[in-house]
Structure 1
């Protein structure tokens, strides 16, 4: 039997300095984004957390909540290449991956194919209204998200690093859409719900949008710095009881499994898979670092439970009839699953 992987080494002095650097950069990033994005602190935190975990995010919200503006502003602050793709029913895979074009050399008269890169060849890709495009185009995006590569004909091309997909989905218009299959939803680290602004934030939005206000943004990190910080996140140590809590939380969503709460068997058709455990731990590591800590607590896991699990739980008709959403089920599990730790994260 294969040996179990070694436990992560304690954080070194260099790592501690990197953690402090990332925590400072995170605070400055939030300040810079706040010059353009009013409110939405939770959304900003989740998007940045996913980025430092090398994960992808599905943003769900009604039109006009600045989802596109948020992503483009983050790309400017982080000095990353940014492309936006408006997904439509007639969009083909080659429209996003790129295609071979036949060119003639006017000197020799010879013809040859040249690959023209599509919009996926960027550090940050905004896939706007991803559920409005056919499954074949969604599948092309899926390969890029998972492999960080695209295949055109017989050739495979590597995408630039770091590579993030931030997709948007409108929850109120479903006519003529292609709902994302569960396998593709599972590729997103987070499903982040973008809510309406508060009354005070809405006043500020009106003031900024109806005047000559123009924010001056500072560029804080580049692609190489982000990849280095992603490695620091992976080196954050996690105690066994935190692993156990993440495992227990995910396993409690699986109907029919021994020991799950009785109401899960009634309300849940399909629960979360092992990828949810991985993303919970990674998100907990990132959250700890962004709060200036070099250890993960069960509170970090609990705080990340909603965005990690909500799109990995399929409810039953009984749950829908009773008004029980996946969010309500997760919140109940977070309250009920025992923790062996009393320390709360900031």
Structure 2
């Protein structure tokens, strides 16, 4: 057996061992969350890659329940922040309070100082509050007055938003949206799942309590293991091709998309697609990335990073239609 094969075998055993907790988390969450396996897996993927997640869907699809349940099974600090039109940046990050007795200003930290933040209905607040999240999301730190405070790891922002067509919503600025690693479109459950939801949830009184399955240290250990997962050069090239096809479609036999894309995906998309593919392989207990890993999560990484032109909107062609076309055309290794 070659040295490379032995290394891969050893790595495979390590991945098998360190990724075992993924199934435990899924099993525990499924006690209260029916269906929504896609949402659970993508939230775990965000957690493993230190990437924030934006969930879009109509109210009542268990978005908030899933996030709060995830925080419970991970034994992490959790804060739910309800975004409203009158919310102020200080309500989010904290402020300085004057202590008359001591004649000095004291720092009162806001709810952002937790491991998992649920920014509920993020697009119901004005831009100044949304932008207050930017430093925390990107730099993992917050500035109050003249002092900067580092946020504790793991730190993850999971934001829910209602579809923009709904009344009283503000579209998120492009810079804010790009900070989210994944954007998920949460759909209604199937008829079978809905029946199970009704039978299990249509009861008064206390709901089932979840147990803590894993501690934050295990997540941080998994993050470093994900960096070791092998990715072939052909898969790396495939990621670059997918992203470049959003910028220069005619180079990839997609001339018809030229007038439909105003701005393509940024380099952050390339980085996130690589990271998310590795994490997907890890969640499947594999030590290497396949093109199928990339294809599985490409839509969630790219859908919010492509800005269509007015022409595309007139033709009712959305970012998802563009991503589908690219994935169907760019050659898979």
Query: Normalization by structure 2: what TM-score?
Result: 0.93
- Contact 2:164–2:171 (CA under 8 A) maintained in structure 1: no
Confirm whether residue 244 of structure 1 aligns to residue 222 of structure 2.
no
- Contact 1:255–1:264 (CA under 8 A) maintained in structure 2: no
Confirm whether residue 180 of structure 1 aligns to residue 176 of structure 2.
no
- Contact 1:62–1:172 (CA under 8 A) maintained in structure 2: no
Confirm whether residue 197 of structure 1 aligns to residue 185 of structure 2.
no
Aligned counterpart for 1:103 among listed residues 99, 102, 109? 99
Alpha-carbon shift at residue 323 of structure 1 (Å): 2.9
Distance 2:126 2:250 in 1: 35
Aligned counterpart for 1:59 among listed residues 30, 40, 55? 55
RMSD value over aligned CA atoms? 1.9
Name the structure 1 match of 2:34: 38
Q: Cα distance 1:115–1:260, how it changes in 2: closer, same or farther (>3 A)?
A: farther
Aligned counterpart for 2:255 among listed residues 246, 258, 262? 262
Distance 2:109 2:298 in 1: 37
Alpha-carbon shift at residue 298 of structure 1 (Å): 1.0
Alpha-carbon shift at residue 153 of structure 1 (Å): 1.3
What secondary structure sits across from 1:252 in the alignment?
helix
Alpha-carbon shift at residue 17 of structure 1 (Å): 4.4
Question: Deviations for 1:1-23, whole angstroms, at most 9, x for unmatched residues?
Answer: xxxxxxxxx5584x544421343
- Contact 2:164–2:170 (CA under 8 A) maintained in structure 1: no
Name the structure 2 match of 1:87: 83
Name the structure 2 match of 1:72: 68
Distance 1:300 1:252 in 2: 19
Alignment of 1:152-171 (within 5 A): 152-171=144-163
Alpha-carbon shift at residue 225 of structure 1 (Å): 1.4
Q: Cα distance 1:135–1:257, how it changes in 2: closer, same or farther (>3 A)?
A: farther
Distance 1:237 1:215 in 2: 40
Alignment of 1:194-233 (within 5 A): 194-211=186-203, 214-233=207-226
Name the structure 1 match of 2:300: 307
What secondary structure sits across from 2:276 in the alignment?
helix
Name the structure 2 match of 1:3: none
Distance 1:149 1:11 in 2: 37
- Contact 1:11–1:236 (CA under 8 A) maintained in structure 2: no
Alpha-carbon shift at residue 266 of structure 1 (Å): 2.4
Q: Which runs of 5+ in 1 are unaligned?
A: 1-9, 341-346
Alpha-carbon shift at residue 320 of structure 1 (Å): 2.5
Q: Which of 20-29 and 240-249 deviates more? A: 20-29
Distance 1:301 1:206 in 2: 35
Q: Which of 92-101 and 250-259 deviates more? A: 250-259
Confirm whether residue 114 of structure 1 aligns to residue 106 of structure 2.
yes
Distance 2:184 2:118 in 1: 14
Question: Deviations for 1:26-45, whole angstroms, at most 9, x for unmatched residues?
Answer: 11211111111110111111
- Contact 2:253–2:329 (CA under 8 A) maintained in structure 1: no
Q: Which runs of 5+ in 2 are unaligned?
A: 1-6
Q: Which of 325-334 and 66-75 deviates more? A: 325-334
Distance 2:15 2:211 in 1: 21
Distance 1:92 1:34 in 2: 36
- Contact 2:78–2:117 (CA under 8 A) maintained in structure 1: yes
- Contact 1:319–1:325 (CA under 8 A) maintained in structure 2: yes
Alpha-carbon shift at residue 50 of structure 1 (Å): 1.1
| The structure with more helix, counted as a fraction of residues | 2
